[in-house]
């Protein structure tokens, strides 16, 4: 089991009250949990800035499946990065629109580059990359 | 088949050259496609700002599956929003860490609220919401 | 003098070590100060999301001063919002380019709207709004 | 006088109508101007990502002027970067709170680093860096 460290934070009483109101509004049960989330979010941002080490990225692509050869193009790009892509979920949003959610794990820079290639593909209506973490060094 | 409109853009020749260099570097084959992507991204941003109409959001949660009752808690929150959640993909990142990718479709505001509730759950290491589109009004 | 509150945060020892490394790298002398900054940044973000209460915004405009009537247009828009604009600093970046830094204080929504009007003015090359705080409720 | 280039953009008629509605709502008089703004904003983002070449940054600091030695500390840091800082505007927000708006021009990386040092200074309530451009290659 992992060890726990405890440290004290001192801050102005007014700031303290406003923070408590904020996190209560968000639904936090616990002040430590809110502080941990602020810390983790900063660390994940830094992981992506540095570009080093393994990261996790989730790419979304929205497109019309009826467009000729689009699915083939997207598949062929993905197959070139088979070691980066863990899974891909396909959702039929309506009779025309598809959402593809592609989960990648690997070097941050490589994930970004692969995402760019897929996003710029003609007839992809909207593409966006979410940057998260392997969780390994975020406890 | 959908109709196509064509319009002209005039801009300073230097700006034009820098734009061409940028999109060539990104891999675009086609100037129109690059412009369309800029337009669509702005429209999707506005869809989320206004909060109205159906939107698509993808939420990622990274957590340690060994934490007692965490999976149950996350599931029970999701089940309360069964009409919002289309699908959920679970990835085993390593022996401890899990990635859950939850795909939601519905009112932007409701997606945000549900995402907040899941993100703040104790022992979720990192949660982030990606905001995209149903594609229905983005052609 | 303002009162100080002290509270304890418990977190995983590995997370604690990574946080310490991060803030040492940034140059923080003090763990409490780093936590306060994370809290304040979140509160300022919320002030702007809610749109209520007085906020402070700084708008930058980059433009070519030689463009006919541009300065007049920008001035006349600013004069319509005289109660919002505290000060405006003008920098000559080079023989052509000017930077105008417009400091505004007032309702967040009104600041955004005024910034939009100035940013979209023809021949403004780049406009961006920075959102900060009056500091009054951020101690 | 600078030369103008004209190029054609083809896009789906529905996308075209939505774009027109969006920019009319924002107040644009002119479709080309809206497209130019989308292009410029992307170019400025790239200037900062690459970190090379001269950039312009505007840093805001909100703090309580009554805090002992704070003004001296902030001044002494600024004086070490005299070649980077063009101007600094000081606003008295209320009897306690000050806003300092520091305009910098130079290498993007150096601006970021200097901003970080000032932002983390103890008793600075809120600091944020806005990234814009010298305008020189953005026409």
Interface test with C, best of D132, D136, D137, D138 (most C CBs within 10 A): D132
Could you tell me the two tokens for B51?
């909060």
B55-101 pLDDT per residue, tens = 999 999 999 988 889 989 999 999 999 899 999 999 999 988 999 99
Categorize the per-residue pLDDT at D86 as very low, low, confident or very high, splitting at 50, 70 and 90.
Answer: very high
How many CB pairs below 8 Å do chains C and D form together? 138
Q: Verify whether the Cβ–Cβ distance B14 to D137 is below 8 Å.
A: yes
Residue A97, pLDDT above cutoff 70? yes
- In this structure, is the dihedral angle defined by the CA atoms of residues B22, B24, B25 and B28, taken in order, positive or negative? positive
Residues of A in contact with B91 (CB under 8 A): 86-87, 103
**Alpha-carbon distance B57 to B111, whole Å?**
7
Q: Verify whether the Cβ–Cβ distance B93 to A26 is below 8 Å.
A: no
**Alpha-carbon distance C104 to C85, whole Å?**
4
Residues of C in contact with A22 (CB under 8 A): 42-43, 46
Residue A139, pLDDT above cutoff 80? no
Residue D137: the pLDDT is 78
**Alpha-carbon distance D97 to C105, whole Å?**
13
Residue A1, pLDDT above cutoff 70? no
Q: What is the pTM of this model?
A: 0.85
Q: Verify whether the Cβ–Cβ distance B9 to D7 is below 8 Å.
A: yes
Categorize the per-residue pLDDT at A93 as very low, low, confident or very high, splitting at 50, 70 and 90.
Answer: very high
Residues of D in contact with C64 (CB under 8 A): 135
Interface test with C, best of D47, D70, D106, D120 (most C CBs within 10 A): D120
Q: Verify whether the Cβ–Cβ distance A138 to B62 is below 8 Å.
A: yes
Q: Which of B93, B128, B130 sits opposite A134 (nearest CB)?
A: B93
Mean pLDDT of A5-13: 94
**Alpha-carbon distance B90 to B79, whole Å?**
16
Q: Verify whether the Cβ–Cβ distance C2 to A13 is below 8 Å.
A: yes
Q: Verify whether the Cβ–Cβ distance D126 to C27 is below 8 Å.
A: no
Residue D136: the pLDDT is 86
A4: closest CA of chain C, how far (Å): 4
Residues of D in contact with C139 (CB under 8 A): 125
Mean pLDDT of D16-35: 92
Q: Where are the beta strands (DSSP E) in chain D?
A: 4-12, 54-64, 85-92, 97-107, 124-132
D112-129 pLDDT per residue, tens = 999 999 999 988 999 999
Categorize the per-residue pLDDT at B130 as very low, low, confident or very high, splitting at 50, 70 and 90.
Answer: very high
Residue C86: the pLDDT is 93
Residue A127: the pLDDT is 95
Contact D132, C62 (CB under 8 A): yes
Below-50 pLDDT ranges, chain C: none
The subunits that touch chain D, with at least 3 C-beta pairs less than 8 Å apart, are: B, C
**Average model confidence (pLDDT) across chain A:** 91
Q: What share of chain C is helix, strand, coil (3-state, %, to 5)?
A: 40, 35, 25
Q: Verify whether the Cβ–Cβ distance B135 to A99 is below 8 Å.
A: yes
Nearest to D27 by CA among C60, B8, C122, B12: C122
Contact D125, D62 (CB under 8 A): yes
Q: For a pLDDT cut of 90, what percent of chain D falls above it?
A: 73
**Alpha-carbon distance B120 to B124, whole Å?**
7
């Amino acid at each position: 089991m992992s060890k726990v460290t405890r440290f004290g934070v001192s801050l102005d009483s007014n700031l303290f009250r406003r923070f408590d109101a904020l996190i209560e509004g968000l639904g936090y049960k616990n002040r430590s949990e809110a502080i941990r989330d602020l810390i983790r979010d900063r660390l994940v941002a830094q992981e992506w800035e540095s570009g080093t080490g393994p990261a996790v990225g989730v790419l979304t692509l929205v497109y019309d499946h009826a467009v000729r050869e689009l699915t083939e193009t997207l598949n062929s790009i993905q197959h070139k990065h088979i070691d980066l892509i863990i899974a891909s979920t396909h959702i039929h949003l309506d009779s025309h629109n598809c959402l593809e959610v592609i989960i990648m794990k690997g070097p941050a820079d490589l994930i970004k580059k692969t995402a760019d290639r897929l996003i710029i593909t003609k007839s992809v209506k909207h593409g966006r990359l979410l940057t998260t973490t392997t969780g390994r060094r975020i406890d």
